[in-house]
Structure 1
Amino acid sequence: MSRLQVVSGKGGTGKTTVAAALALALATEGRRTLLVEVEGRQGIAQLFETEALPYEERKIAVTPGGGEVYALAIDAERALLDYLQMFYKLGSAGRALKKLGAIDFATTIAPGVRDVLLTGKACEAVRRREKHGSRPGGRQEGRQGDKQEDKQADKQGDFVYDYVVMDAPPTGRITRFLNVNDEVAGLARIGPIHNQAQAVMRVLKSPETAVHLVTLLEEMPVQETADGIAELRDAGLPVGNVIVNMVRPPVLDEDAVRVAAGDHRKEIATALASAGVSGPARLVAPLLDEAAEHARRVELEREQREALAKLQVPTYELPFLGEGADLAGLYRLARELRQLGVGT
């Protein structure tokens, strides 16, 4: 079972919406899901129609059957302060560094450091177990990825979260984002930073993790999805599913599409004229233009489905929401994902 579900996709494909719907879908039958945002856009808060998320785990939804969805917008600066406290007990000193601007400097000038913190926080949530009254929203002391955690697992309670869903960076950056701890482990050969990086990669490269890619039935998103899957595989990162978002329902059957793709203006105009319809050309032309455009769209989608099939990755389709991705639409997508069995 993949307890960390990473959702990526080309910009504009609706990856944040899919990540939110997936978190709802997984939080069924009393399960608890944490939805993590790492890009600082507050997209989750907008989708769930709530106030901006602070740097703490906050319950934002309850699902049928009593499941719960918590959300966390990870702030790199705050994560670095937590990191300094966990490994070096620099609580007050870390706050002093923040006042001097050192924390902001570290997370801005070195993007790799930022990514280490973001992935580390998400993996900590995956590994966290209930103990001594631990609950979502509480701060966790101790060392992330400590080997002692594994030795003591049988003495601890259940996992705090059944699933962690990460709204991750776009496809073009996802492999580098997830794999940055490998580079850090290679640079820091010993010590707590090395151990932390290795602990994170043990989660990210294990069956505990699945990386889903969201796409549309369009050439550029599909090509970027194919490139992203190749990069993930080369890096040894686990590819999950391809989720095709915003799929429009068929309007015409195959025979009608073939007819619409041809130019039958003269025949139709002649038939209408013989039936006594005046100005048939002006009446028919706009309708035939729309039909031809629809036929071209259907053909493009067929080609993109064929391209996705060659990737040999399970592929699922979500419907286009004509009313927009509001809260009701989010729950509708969650139902679709549950029925498809995505993530389970």
Structure 2
Amino acid sequence: MSRLQVVSGKGGTGKTTVAAALALALAKEGKRTLLVEVEGRQGIAQLFETEALPYEERKIAVAPGGGEVYALAIDPELALLDYLQMFYKLGSAGRALKKLGAIDFATTIAPGLRDVLLTGKACEAVRRKERSGRFTYDYVVMDAPPTGRITRFLNVNDEVAGLAKIGPIHNQAQAVMRVLKSPETAVHLVTLLEEMPVQETVDGIAELRSARLPVGRIIVNMVRPEVLDTADLELLRSVPRSTVARSLSSAGLGGARRGGHAERLVDPLLTQAEEYSERYTLEHEQRAVLAELGLPLHELPLFAEGMDLAGLYELARELREQGVS
């Protein structure tokens, strides 16, 4: 397993949920993971039902087997203060720059610098070691930007090429890219079994491969249970309406006479079956598209009642059973 696990996906596919479940899944048998958020949405805090995350690494969960999950919401301005302190020892002068708005100005006019700071903080956590020589974190999981900009976000070396040819910023970008383009990193894409998310996944993988960034797995999220298979659907299409009405009546859903409750239920029931058939066909077509990409493919179930902390642990268990951790 790569030590930096980057999770991206089209908006609405649940990439933050999958990233959180992956962090829990990897924190097995006493291992320690760091879950990193870079978009400032505090989605991780909501999932783990805790208060908003500060700019510090904080333990937010214990996984089965005693593993620990820490979380960090990276603030670009505070990351830049860390950077200035690390390379220039600015101390209080750096804080004064923040009050003057200089840091916000710098990250606004040079967005590439912002991405260097965000990815750099995650890569620093990957490389960090304790005095004993052991890595501080066994895995770092990044809840990354959506598929549409993940390649640009990760390919920070190109982003800062026009900002700095030499010096600390250039060196920092080079150090980040050595991690991001190595076997230490894997970029996973989250999708749904729908045409637009699948197409964006296909395009995103092509872009990542073109940039020589390491693609990991495809995780299909919110998969609905398969109620009927192909044979069931074919049989349902061939059954006369009168037979369906009699079956409903036999089940206690109204009288058998014409105009009874059972008769009135036939059309809605057959309409629902047709809608299910269309969705069933579409989902199988999208699975075939994803299978052609030649990557490990995993599926996570839809929780009809919504996602809560118990559901998050259930998704982590699903990932472990599917061999993701």
Q: Does 1:278 align with 2:258?
A: yes
Q: For 1:214 and 1:191, how far apart are their aligned partners in 2?
A: 37
Q: For 2:52 and 2:278, how far apart are their aligned partners in 1?
A: 42
Secondary structure, counterpart of 2:35 in structure 1: strand
Tell me what 2:85 maps to.
85
Mapping of 1:1-344 within 5 angstroms?
1-131=1-131, 157-185=133-161, 187-260=163-236, 264-265=240-241, 268=244, 276-279=256-259, 281-342=263-324, 344=325
Tell me what 1:134 maps to.
none
Tell me if the contact between 1:5 and 1:210 (Cα under 8 Å) persists in the aligned partners: yes
Deviation of 1:221 (Å): 0.2
Deviation of 1:240 (Å): 0.3
Q: 1:41 to 1:265 in 2, by over 3 A?
A: same
Q: 1:93 to 1:195 in 2, by over 3 A?
A: same
Deviation of 1:257 (Å): 1.7
Structure 1 residues without counterparts, runs of 5 or longer: 132-155
Deviation of 1:106 (Å): 1.5
TM-score by length of 2: 0.93
TM-score by length of 1: 0.88
Q: For 2:311 and 2:36, how far apart are their aligned partners in 1?
A: 20
When the two chains are superposed, the root-mean-square deviation of aligned CA atoms in Å is 1.9
Secondary structure, counterpart of 1:322 in structure 2: coil
Tell me if the contact between 1:56 and 1:73 (Cα under 8 Å) persists in the aligned partners: yes
Q: For 1:201 and 1:260, how far apart are their aligned partners in 2?
A: 56
Tell me if the contact between 1:185 and 1:197 (Cα under 8 Å) persists in the aligned partners: no
Secondary structure, counterpart of 1:34 in structure 2: strand
Secondary structure, counterpart of 1:325 in structure 2: coil
Tell me if the contact between 1:246 and 1:321 (Cα under 8 Å) persists in the aligned partners: yes
Secondary structure, counterpart of 1:328 in structure 2: helix
The runs of 4+ residues in structure 1 deviating greater than 3 Å are 259-273
Secondary structure, counterpart of 2:145 in structure 1: coil
Tell me if the contact between 2:8 and 2:147 (Cα under 8 Å) persists in the aligned partners: yes
Structure 2 residues without counterparts, runs of 5 or longer: 250-254
Q: For 1:271 and 1:35, how far apart are their aligned partners in 2?
A: 53
Tell me if the contact between 2:246 and 2:256 (Cα under 8 Å) persists in the aligned partners: no
1:173-197 CA deviation, whole Å, 9 max, x = no partner?
1000000233325752322222111
Secondary structure, counterpart of 2:7 in structure 1: strand
Q: 1:93 to 1:129 in 2, by over 3 A?
A: same
Tell me if the contact between 2:26 and 2:139 (Cα under 8 Å) persists in the aligned partners: yes
Over the matched positions of the two proteins, sequence identity in percent amounts to 79
Q: For 1:111 and 1:186, how far apart are their aligned partners in 2?
A: 11
Q: 1:261 to 1:105 in 2, by over 3 A?
A: farther
* Counterpart residue identity of residue 300, structure 2: L
Instruction: Count residues with an aligned counterpart.
Output: 318
Tell me if the contact between 2:190 and 2:219 (Cα under 8 Å) persists in the aligned partners: yes
Q: For 2:52 and 2:246, how far apart are their aligned partners in 1?
A: 62
* Counterpart residue identity of residue 64, structure 2: P
Secondary structure, counterpart of 1:246 in structure 2: strand
Q: 1:271 to 1:170 in 2, by over 3 A?
A: closer
1:127-153 CA deviation, whole Å, 9 max, x = no partner?
00012xxxxxxxxxxxxxxxxxxxxxx
Tell me if the contact between 1:123 and 1:203 (Cα under 8 Å) persists in the aligned partners: yes
* Counterpart residue identity of residue 286, structure 1: P
Tell me what 2:252 maps to.
none
